[in-house]
């Protein structure tokens, strides 16, 4: 049997977090397709033909890096195959048989947009470019994408190689959860070895040098795709992802999108780890109760306002042993005035309460002492 215990938080004001898709169209963009995306709530702040299937050039390498990072250790040694050398487009001049780590190759993939490094990575992970592309497509399915298909790891033109601005934003959101990926795409420069020397890598994303809030992600260009750009920016704990495909003025457009959107975003911290503690009566506890405590916090981003909410503590009316320390015994739920749930955190027991011994066992202990 459950009983609700309520504790009311200070009142804050807000409007809904999800906006109409065209709510910010006055910002404008020269892109054929674009989206501005808040990943934690999957809120779209701006979009323009965001579901049109288009080529994405080297922004492909976001998925290349994500798949490789999940597939093999960074320290994996790679002997560069002949197939990866002398590829068209950008590269770092890999030579057949030279040895680098997967980490070295990914630095080159993400900063210098090196097609040869992307091919070498793909072959090292899956044995061939085609097999690696299959792996990329499997990852796209896992992410729930329906308008994306990869034919290669580098983004050179192919009719079977396409995505949408919306799908690419979701790929980027997933990749940015990987600490190694996030570190790489936010770096302006890096060094990796080359035969008899050092390769100096410079990130093609100029917004990393021009704006303090930009933290990634990837550029791309072919004559067929036009200029493609994916960036991420962060202010006051709010991260936004911008994607533009076939955009001749992409640097300006990304800056304009961020400058219009960030003032509208607020991150609300509903709970700090350990900030909620509630006593739950427990049979057999020396203190008469076990405290239900949250070990995780909860934050959410809201657009154009702050939420009014109340906190409801849900637990059993009474606990009976055995109870294990760390066992989930309830949750704290954050509710909007209309009763809709804004989020919740689990509440865990802060102590162990053992099951009492059977009467026969107690009697044996008493007689043994005599």
Q: At what angle do helices 61-71 and 102-111 cross, to 10 degrees?
A: 160
Could you give the CA distance from residue 348 to residue 345 in angstroms, rounded to a whole number?
10
Tell me whether strands 226-235 and 298-303 are parallel, antiparallel or unpaired. unpaired
Establish whether 61 is a catalytic residue: yes
- Which residue out of 24, 33, 48, 58 is catalytically annotated? 58
Using alpha carbons, select from 13, 121, 109, 11 the residue that is nearest to residue 59: 109
Rounded to 10 degrees, the C-alpha dihedral 281/286/290/296 comes to 170
- Which residue out of 61, 139, 170, 218 is catalytically annotated? 61
Using alpha carbons, select from 199, 219, 233, 4 the residue that is nearest to residue 105: 199
Establish whether 113 is a catalytic residue: yes
Number of Cβ atoms within 10 Å of the Cβ of 137: 18
Could you give the CA distance from residue 123 to residue 115 in angstroms, rounded to a whole number?
12
Could you give the CA distance from residue 328 to residue 319 in angstroms, rounded to a whole number?
12
Per the DSSP assignment, residues forming a β-bridge with 34 are 48, 244
Q: At what angle do helices 61-71 and 115-126 cross, to 10 degrees?
A: 30
Tell me whether strands 33-38 and 238-245 are parallel, antiparallel or unpaired. antiparallel
- Which residue out of 33, 90, 113, 285 is catalytically annotated? 113
Establish whether 90 is a catalytic residue: no
Using alpha carbons, select from 64, 42, 43 the residue that is nearest to residue 110: 64
The set of catalytic residues is: 58, 61, 113
């Amino acid at each position: 049997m459950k009983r609700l215990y309520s504790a009311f938080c200070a009142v804050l004001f807000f409007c809904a977090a999800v906006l109409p898709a065209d709510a910010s169209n006055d910002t404008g963009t020269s892109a054929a397709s674009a989206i501005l995306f808040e990943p934690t709530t999957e809120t779209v702040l701006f979009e323009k033909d965001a579901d049109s299937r288009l080529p994405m050039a080297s922004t492909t390498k976001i998925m290349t890096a994500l798949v490789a990072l999940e597939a093999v250790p960074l320290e994996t040694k790679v002997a560069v195959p002949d197939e990866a050398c002398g590829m068209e487009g950008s590269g770092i001049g890999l030579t057949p048989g030279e040895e680098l780590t997967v980490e070295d190759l990914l630095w080159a993939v993400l900063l210098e947009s090196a097609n040869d490094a992307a091919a070498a990575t793909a072959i090292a992970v899956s044995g061939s470019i085609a097999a690696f592309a299959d792996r990329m497509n499997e990852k796209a399915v896992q992410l729930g994408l329906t308008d994306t298909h990869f034919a290669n790891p580098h983004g050179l033109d192919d009719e079977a190689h396409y995505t949408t601005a919306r799908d690419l934003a979701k790929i980027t959101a997933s990749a940015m959860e990987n600490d190694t990926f996030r570190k790489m795409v936010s770096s302006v420069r890096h060094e990796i070895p080359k035969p008899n020397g050092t390769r100096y890598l410079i990130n093609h994303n100029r917004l990393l040098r021009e704006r303090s809030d930009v933290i990634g992600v990837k550029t791309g260009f072919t004559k067929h795709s036009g200029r493609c750009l994916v960036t991420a920016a962060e202010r006051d704990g709010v991260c936004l992802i911008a994607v533009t495909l076939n955009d001749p003025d992409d640097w300006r457009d990304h800056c304009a999108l961020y400058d219009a959107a960030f003032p509208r975003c607020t991150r609300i911290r509903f709970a700090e780890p350990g900030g909620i503690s509630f006593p739950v009566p427990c049979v057999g506890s020396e203190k008469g109760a076990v405290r239900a405590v949250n070990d995780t916090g909860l934050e959410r981003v809201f657009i154009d306002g702050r939420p009014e909410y109340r906190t409801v503590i849900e637990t059993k009316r009474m606990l009976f042993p055995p109870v294990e320390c760390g066992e989930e015994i309830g949750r704290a739920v954050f509710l909007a005035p209309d009763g809709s749930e804004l989020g919740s955190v689990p509440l865990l027991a802060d102590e162990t309460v053992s099951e009492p011994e059977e009467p026969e066992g107690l009697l044996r202990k008493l007689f043994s002492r005599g």
